[in-house]
Structure 1
């Protein structure tokens, strides 16, 4: 048989070469060239570079400026940093996206420093409210007040002042932690509480929660953990238009703070539908990593059946489940091994049966879902680690690269610290909580528990497990600079104490930046597409007005986000 011969005319060869050449030129032409500042890549093969070339939404090149210029064409957008500093786009590793948006719309009490300030803020809102309209807000924290009211029950204020200024409008104000709430008399009347006797009120007791009462058995207005639902189920649902407004405000807040990706800790059906609508309308200008709420078991079963959703557009991914296993330390809801130092005999709350935690861990292994369990107290952390370990032992063939997480992991028994690395469980810890909570947390836990097991960042990192950082917004403001500062100084936002609290647990600046970028990406199985300035990864960048890796400590908090680049486009400029 004769060999197959392919012949091409000279003209055809020239045409083919020209076509190929044009393709190569087009392929290698950058849409944006960034240079002129400090660029930290969080890539160990090349920690700093002079320039970055971007093609569309992908990093084309990162290296010297001379080499980068070969990707420049007449159509390339040139971005001179003018001495500013650039890092990979920051990733909020644990927050509540719609909570962020609604915090922008509702009454924001995060900066209040006394009960009277809360009363004054509500009084102003009452003036604008329609008769009977609910007034809602969030952000108060009694342990951060500069002065306390004269009447307290279990360390909390009572509703009398709040009820006096809003007799006709029901009021419900969420604690900063999200694990307690404060209602006025009108709200409790709507819930049917005020007409009940002491014995009748007991019908409203909720396992895993507490209706705070005074010495006479009357409700004080404080509802802890699962008892919050007694009031919240009566609050009218948000309208679709308001949901969209809150979503857009959350996106804008992220861009302003240099956040390009967001781990959304606990979403339900309505929120998922909203996100899908926003993506379809090209309004998804943020990369969301959604954790399914475990409060809706039917929702979980539906997703187990269809499996994870890993978005090829890298905008909306759902492959994890959020479990709420205890409360918060501020409301004394964190589940402890030993009782609270400032409330003897009280151990906090187990807000989810541990049998369900193990069942969910097993389902996660079987159906390919990461499990992310909220655990703040040392008992909650131990119980969750035990349930994870039990699930791993039952399905060893499915344990490889599970990346199960514990959200917060704030207070650990020393014996449990090495178990995170041993089991491959990722701690998602919000450094800003240490800064906000540490001054009063010692009252809850006592000195020994604080020093041996609270906010153990360096101990966990040295054990060989990465840390995912964040703010838990709206529990804390979204500002990543504040959390970065807390990570490397272990001080309050006022710069106290000298040397920081338990300074041996500080992160280095490199570790802190990595916890907000590459390690956060790892915590969502996304380290191959984001988290470092590496060729082939997504073109998400955060640009600062000064060098946060070198600026003196006292100037760190003055650092501001100057620009945010998302998907290869500038989406925010200060």
Structure 2
């Protein structure tokens, strides 16, 4: 629940006063990235950390300050998700989810049941389906959707967001015929007779989504409220939104100014189109209202996703030798987009999944002049999922930040090696390889594609197992992180990747007192139990914004 904005219980004359938080089993990273313990923390009247340490020492120095007793519970800096989609998370709560379905029959039954209840909806929207989990051996078809819903358009996005499944009604509304040409960077799946099957991959999805009625202001606000509620409940005090458009920027600014942004947002402008041209006239927005909102990055795409075989590979897919996936742009066009954003002073964060997509991004970022280079502006590869082994050192050479999502590995392990084979998998989800060469890895979840719960991410990073502890020794366990490393990736490394390491990511003097209280000590419990961690309280700038 959202508890308002000044519920530390320490308010003097309407102004927040200094507060001493005591009886904490506290952990933070210090300036040398070492894990440091404390049992008391002093927060000033502006919501910033003054000091952490022993209760006896702080009480002696500040004997008259008001206290909040944390009951001996474990306290951590607020966790940061370095890659998510805020409005999509909120919208997903009201749409159809097929994430829990185990086969096509279950999915079709769920679609039929949802459509029967959602009689007022003109479109049936949602998705999160995964044909790999269904062990279908193919994509589902429009005809199969027609068998359960034929009178209304249905559009269901795949779990990775890089393919969609439409019924015949939706295909007709979008004007998609058997003869419709594949757009650049996209694919209309067809059967052996050349007929469109109902599956649209990557850029082809735009053909459908441009005819879906856009969300109105009320729906957008409901989505943002729902997302913020979920984010603060899982202990995320900051997120990096990977694709901000004009409407979401408008609401992020409004919520920040009004003090309603209970999770800080670091925004990436979605592309370098008209919105970028307009908003970049004044340069990057470094922070708004006490660092609640920043807009200083741009999000681009090089390719699609592995599950839908849209990720661009240097050589054909091991399980589909007829395709190498799709690059969304020619090399020259990617270089032009990167340069356009960087020369305006923006960090450039490019989605890249396949080894060809990653190589294209490395080349584009590596060609930037020094003043606009990754060393200066901290450019990132978002996902950095499958790289040729020879390209991994080049990421470090050019100071590129690999922004990675640990739960992607444990979600993809059922099909990733099928897609790329035993040789190429050595450069996939290669966290230890990156860490060993000194790369900073900001971690995220790519919510709502994965759960926003950061403890699921820490668990995946450390165990490389699903929640049933499978595989027994972990999936390619040599690439696993240690608990402290994963914790750093969701705190200081994520803050660094947003140019915010001086204000966020740890509970050090002068930084915002964003912290969480949890029900178990993740540094002492068996690693198999990390994902079970529950957030009891979430504090933003010394103010309680969530209590379980």
Q: Which residue of 2 aligns with 1:190?
A: 173
Q: Structure 1 CA distance, aligned partners of 2:201 and 2:477?
A: 33
1:36 is aligned, of 23, 27, 32, to 23
2:43 is aligned, of 51, 54, 70, to 54
Q: In the alignment, is residue 230 of structure 1 matched against residue 230 of structure 2?
A: no
Q: Which residue of 2 aligns with 1:523?
A: 497
Q: Which residue of 1 aligns with 2:90?
A: 101
CA distances 1:65-116 after superposition (whole Å, capped 9, x unpaired) = 1122246566724132x33211110001101011111111211222222222
Following TM superposition, by how much is the alpha carbon of 1:550 offset from its aligned partner in structure 2, in angstroms? 1.4
Following TM superposition, by how much is the alpha carbon of 1:130 offset from its aligned partner in structure 2, in angstroms? 3.6
Instruction: Classify 1:288/1:224 alpha carbon distance in 2 versus 1 (closer, same or farther; 3 Å).
Output: same
Q: Which residue of 1 aligns with 2:540?
A: 566
Q: SS where residue 348 of structure 1 aligns?
A: coil
1:64 is aligned, of 54, 60, 77, to 54
Q: SS where residue 460 of structure 1 aligns?
A: helix
Q: Which residue of 2 aligns with 1:162?
A: 145
Q: Which residue of 2 aligns with 1:19?
A: none
Q: Which has the larger radius of gyration?
A: 1
Q: Structure 2 CA distance, aligned partners of 1:72 and 1:293?
A: 48
Q: Which residue of 2 aligns with 1:252?
A: 229
Q: Structure 2 CA distance, aligned partners of 1:478 and 1:365?
A: 29
Instruction: Classify 1:280/1:529 alpha carbon distance in 2 versus 1 (closer, same or farther; 3 Å).
Output: closer
Q: SS where residue 178 of structure 1 aligns?
A: coil
Q: SS where residue 172 of structure 1 aligns?
A: strand
Are the equivalent residues in 2 in contact too, given 1:30–1:71 (CA < 8 A)?
A: no
Q: Structure 2 CA distance, aligned partners of 1:365 and 1:440?
A: 36
Q: Which residue of 1 aligns with 2:123?
A: 134
Q: SS where residue 439 of structure 1 aligns?
A: coil
Are the equivalent residues in 2 in contact too, given 1:163–1:184 (CA < 8 A)?
A: yes
1:6-405 to 2 correspondence within 5 Å?
Answer: 31-43=18-30, 44=32, 47-56=36-45, 57-70=47-60, 76-80=66-70, 82-130=71-119, 133-145=122-134, 147-148=135-136, 155-193=138-176, 196=177, 201-294=178-271, 297-312=273-288, 313-391=290-368, 395-399=369-373, 400-405=375-380
Following TM superposition, by how much is the alpha carbon of 1:492 offset from its aligned partner in structure 2, in angstroms? 2.0
Are the equivalent residues in 2 in contact too, given 1:333–1:348 (CA < 8 A)?
A: yes
Q: SS where residue 287 of structure 2 aligns?
A: coil
Q: In the alignment, is residue 492 of structure 1 matched against residue 469 of structure 2?
A: no
1:512 is aligned, of 480, 486, 494, to 486
Q: In the alignment, is residue 556 of structure 1 matched against residue 533 of structure 2?
A: no
Q: SS where residue 468 of structure 1 aligns?
A: coil
Instruction: Classify 1:464/1:255 alpha carbon distance in 2 versus 1 (closer, same or farther; 3 Å).
Output: same
Q: Structure 2 CA distance, aligned partners of 1:31 and 1:184?
A: 59
Q: Structure 2 CA distance, aligned partners of 1:428 and 1:489?
A: 19
Following TM superposition, by how much is the alpha carbon of 1:30 offset from its aligned partner in structure 2, in angstroms? 5.8
Q: Which residue of 2 aligns with 1:480?
A: 454
Q: Structure 2 CA distance, aligned partners of 1:240 and 1:142?
A: 34
Instruction: Classify 1:119/1:78 alpha carbon distance in 2 versus 1 (closer, same or farther; 3 Å).
Output: same
1:436 is aligned, of 404, 411, 414, to 411
Q: Structure 2 CA distance, aligned partners of 1:326 and 1:238?
A: 27
Following TM superposition, by how much is the alpha carbon of 1:368 offset from its aligned partner in structure 2, in angstroms? 1.1
1:421-460 to 2 correspondence within 5 Å?
Answer: 421-450=396-425, 452-460=426-434
Q: Structure 1 CA distance, aligned partners of 2:42 and 2:245?
A: 39
Are the equivalent residues in 1 in contact too, given 2:20–2:65 (CA < 8 A)?
A: no
Following TM superposition, by how much is the alpha carbon of 1:133 offset from its aligned partner in structure 2, in angstroms? 0.8
Q: Structure 1 CA distance, aligned partners of 2:412 and 2:261?
A: 34
Which stretches in structure 1 are left out of the alignment for 5+ residues?
Answer: 1-24
Are the equivalent residues in 2 in contact too, given 1:427–1:466 (CA < 8 A)?
A: yes
Q: SS where residue 413 of structure 2 aligns?
A: helix
Instruction: Tell me which moved more, 496-505 or 481-490.
Output: 496-505
Q: SS where residue 418 of structure 1 aligns?
A: helix
Q: SS where residue 326 of structure 1 aligns?
A: coil
Q: SS where residue 310 of structure 1 aligns?
A: strand
- The alignment's TM-score, normalised by the length of structure 2, stands at 0.93
Are the equivalent residues in 1 in contact too, given 2:318–2:420 (CA < 8 A)?
A: yes
Q: Structure 1 CA distance, aligned partners of 2:122 and 2:60?
A: 62
Q: Structure 2 CA distance, aligned partners of 1:550 and 1:359?
A: 49
Are the equivalent residues in 1 in contact too, given 2:462–2:483 (CA < 8 A)?
A: yes
Q: Structure 1 CA distance, aligned partners of 2:153 and 2:61?
A: 61
Are the equivalent residues in 2 in contact too, given 1:101–1:247 (CA < 8 A)?
A: yes
Instruction: Classify 1:71/1:473 alpha carbon distance in 2 versus 1 (closer, same or farther; 3 Å).
Output: farther
1:409-428 to 2 correspondence within 5 Å?
Answer: 409-428=384-403
Q: Which residue of 1 aligns with 2:6?
A: none
Instruction: Tell me which moved more, 366-375 or 132-141.
Output: 132-141
Are the equivalent residues in 2 in contact too, given 1:132–1:168 (CA < 8 A)?
A: no
Following TM superposition, by how much is the alpha carbon of 1:362 offset from its aligned partner in structure 2, in angstroms? 2.1
Instruction: Classify 1:553/1:397 alpha carbon distance in 2 versus 1 (closer, same or farther; 3 Å).
Output: closer
Following TM superposition, by how much is the alpha carbon of 1:325 offset from its aligned partner in structure 2, in angstroms? 0.8
Are the equivalent residues in 1 in contact too, given 2:24–2:38 (CA < 8 A)?
A: no
Are the equivalent residues in 1 in contact too, given 2:370–2:376 (CA < 8 A)?
A: no
Greater per-residue helix proportion: 1
Cα RMSD over matched residues? 1.9
- The alignment's TM-score, normalised by the length of structure 1, stands at 0.89
